[in-house]
Chain A
Amino acid sequence: MMLDISEIKVIEHDVLIVGAGGAGLSAAIESSSQGMSTGIVMKSLLGKAHTVMAEGGMAAALGNVDARDHWKIHFRDTMRGGKFLNVWRMAELHAKIAPERVRLLEEWGAVFDRTKSGLINQRNFGGHRYPRLAHVGDRTGLEMIRTLQDYGIHQGIEAYMECTALDLLKNEKDEVCGVVCMWRETGTFTIFKAKSIIFATGGGGKAWEVTSNSWEYTGDGYALAYEAGAELMDLEFSQFHPTGMVWPLSVKGILVTESVRGEGGILLNSEGTRFMFNYIPERFRSETADTEEEAARWLAGDLNARRPPELLTRDVVARAINEEVKAGRGSKHGGAYLNIATQRSAEDIKKKLPSMYHQFKVLAELDITKEPMEVGPTCHYFMGGIRVDADTTMSTVPGLFACGECAAGMHGANRLGGNSLSDLLVFGYLAGKNASEYAKNKVTHSEIDEEQASKIIRNATDILNRESGANPYLLHEQLENNMQINVGIIRSKDELEKGISQLEKIKDDYKNVKAKGTSQFNPGWHEALGLRNLLITAEAVARAAILREESRGAHTRSDFPGEQKEWLNYNIISRKGEDGNMELIKVERPIPNTELERIAESSIEDLEREIEQERKQITN
């Protein structure tokens, strides 16, 4: 049957944003303030995006709690946490711009927890030298998204809710000029025309069985960009958060915020040993407490005491828990014990970690003010993503911008907790600004290529119209099992190859996926549509993981232990080859700016002295 494209509704905007979490909303607000006609499409309702689940806080060197903090120290922490694979310029921009964006959020109505002197309070977190995370109890993400939402609705932005982006449209010059979307409620289609498009689509953690991610995290941005010819970068770096719930099974993977450790929580194995003392990496040894006594002094506020090892970076803690379980010292249900009850008063816990208290009380029937929690690694975040220019956030396809989790580079091989929410504010803003500049240079919209559009729509409707075929839920389950077993937290060539051959099989079955029922709000169909994107994402992760023959940050190879210096010179890029298959290439990283390199490599003492002197000069 020929599809009559002229009957499909067309909506035009100067700038169109896909995804309405913290990054997408920040981008939309900026784009609108630049006078652009701005639209934002989202798979869920407004205010429900993944950002709402973020708990701990947003990192910014405000210096409200410890005045010694400075962008240079935040930058140094970020680079060290990312094992120096971060795009230097992105880490620099982030550390410099984050404070002003956090303060702006306050102006837009966010009500952060306060210090005694009435400023935005900041808490400790893994890998951050000073208390740096602006927060609201353990529901900071909710505060962020609600603030952006409530501010954004008054800025003349058009919000298109429960609308799924299917694929991008390009003009004859190979620039992005639109996107075909499907309304979840009715199953009908709309073509959005735009002069520039910003992806703020989040990650792809739904490819794993144990994950803190929701149904939305199907790697849509990666797959749509990939299909449009964009390059993906660093996909091998998928972060496993060390503390997800492990029991009961039905909630396995749900996040337990790092703030539990930030507020003093300790990790214990089945023998009652505080095992993190045995896992301090050389790079962090001089800045980490080596006795329980020193760690206790730190918690009590001694500025000269070093940080407890529970606050090492996420890659380190996740691997340590994994090791303890493997060595037979795991908790009852195969995790580690996380205890805050012995460290803080019940009143403090309820005040500082209310949603954790509630979550465990209801879902696990456990009182965290009295008993330890059971926790284990859960797939949480993608450091890799769409390759972008650091200053403009534009991808390798003209007109397509990316920010937030779906963009690569900012976090290198491992993200520090708290750097995600601030990333959303900083790069959301930069994407909004630069996509607007780009759009301003375009006088008119491009003509839509009807053939491209009808092909996209046909691909979607075929899933419904097929007589019979594979159940999308079962295919998704196979994918999750495969990634969990073969592309997990510890990887090897054999397993990764097995994982890829399984993926190929699932991809084959996917060609005949069938969704039963009609087009109206049909989760089976939506599942099948997302699965295409998830399969592309999973393949990019597995293939990049085979190629990187070293262990760095979140990417751990049992057959290639330790960081290999020569690998620091390369990023792995995945893109769609001429033959339609995925091709992977090693590309050389640019030489870093010498001043940035000097800051990141300085000893903490030298850097602190330098900052102190700079400040003295300013006050003189």
Chain B
Amino acid sequence: MATRKFQIYRGDHNNGELVHFETEVKEGMVVLDVIHKIQAEQANDLAIRWNCKAGKCGSCSVEINGKPKLSCMTRMNEYGPNETIIVTPMKTFPIIKDLVTDVSWNYTQNKRIKQVKLAPESKTDKGYVMYQEDVDRVQEFRKCIECYLCQNVCHVLRDHDKKNKFVGPRFMIRVASLEMHPLDTEDRIPELKNEFGSGMCNITRCCTDVCPENINLTDNGIIPLKERIVDRYYDPITILSRKIFGKKKKKLPPLKR
């Protein structure tokens, strides 16, 4: 047990400041535990979102000493014993109160993406047939817990505030999870290029670095999507062959193994 020092943002979108707290920290505690302790003992109305406390729901995203993190998965022993720990809300989204931000913009982005549409001919009386190696890639993207830390660090959204131009890495990955689904028949490439602003991303990999689920957003999701756009719109051979042979079917059914 030791007394530790904290600076926690208190206030709303217009007014706020870092407030100093000190509290006893026990072995094994994570930053969220400390915030709860301060809440119960010193500041009952200190606002933070949380649910599962085990890195599964993605509710408790904050910035700790400037780094975007899940507060439930950040252990106190990651920091030196005399270090003051500064907890602030995600910078990219408007502050509602204290550590709680307005993330509703993300929900409106999700709604813009066309839902899954499976090829009806691949349905058997035992369900759809897909092989593990064909779904591995998609399952990686589907690990996303929607903590929005990637949205928070994406410089297009964070520094340039281009929320009206780019859906952000979370929804690039959402599109990737659908486009790379082995049985999906929908086409989202035109809106990806024209409406979702995929060209705004210049692959700085900040999103991949902060992902608590270790999803390789950039290399496995965003870059392959950008390649599909290039193939479709900028590759002269593809364009020529499409003119001659007509549009190719988007995907082939999986191979029997």
Contact = CB atoms under 8 A, between A and B. Distances in A.
Given A48-B51, A250-B30, A524 B56 contact: no
**At the interface, is chain B mostly helix, strand, loop or mixed?**
loop
B127 A255 contact: no
B100 A363 contact: no
Nearest to B184: A109
B248 interface: no
Contacts of B135: 111, 114
A355 B96 CA distance: 31
B45 A254 contact: no
Interface stretch (B79-87, B138-146, B196-204, B239-247): B138-146
A363 B44 contact: no
B97 A521 contact: yes
A164 to B, nearest CB: 14
B32 to A, nearest CB: 9
Contact of B56 (A46, A107, A139, A515): A139
Given A48-B58, A247-B28, A249-B28, A362 B73 contact: yes
Interface string B120-139: 00010011111110010011
Interface string A239-260: 0000000011111001100000
A255 B57 contact: no
B53 A355 contact: no
B45 A515 contact: yes
A143 B139 CA distance: 9
A395 interface: no
A343 interface: no
Contacts, number: 169
Nearest to A472: B44
A185 interface: yes
A118 B28 contact: no
A242 B51 CA distance: 21
Contacts of B33: 250
A158 interface: no
Contact of B27 (A120, A248, A471): A248
B144 to A, nearest CB: 8
Contact of B53 (A137, A251, A472): A251
A523 interface: yes
Interface of B: 12, 26-30, 33, 39-41, 44-59, 73, 75, 96-98, 100, 103-104, 107, 110-111, 115-116, 118, 123, 126-132, 135, 138-139, 142-146, 174, 178, 181, 254
Given A143-B142, A251-B28, A251-B54, 7 more contacts: A53-B54, A106-B128, A154-B115, A248-B28, A248-B29, A515-B45, A524-B39
18 contacts: A44-B59, A106-B128, A107-B118, A107-B128, A109-B178, A119-B126, A150-B110, A214-B52, A215-B50, A216-B51, A250-B29, A250-B30, A254-B54, A359-B54, A516-B45, A520-B96, A522-B47, A523-B47
Interface of A: 44-50, 52-53, 62, 64, 103, 106-109, 111, 113-114, 117-120, 136-137, 139, 141-143, 146, 150-151, 153-154, 161, 185, 214-216, 247-251, 254-255, 355, 358-359, 362-364, 471-474, 477, 515-518, 520-525, 527
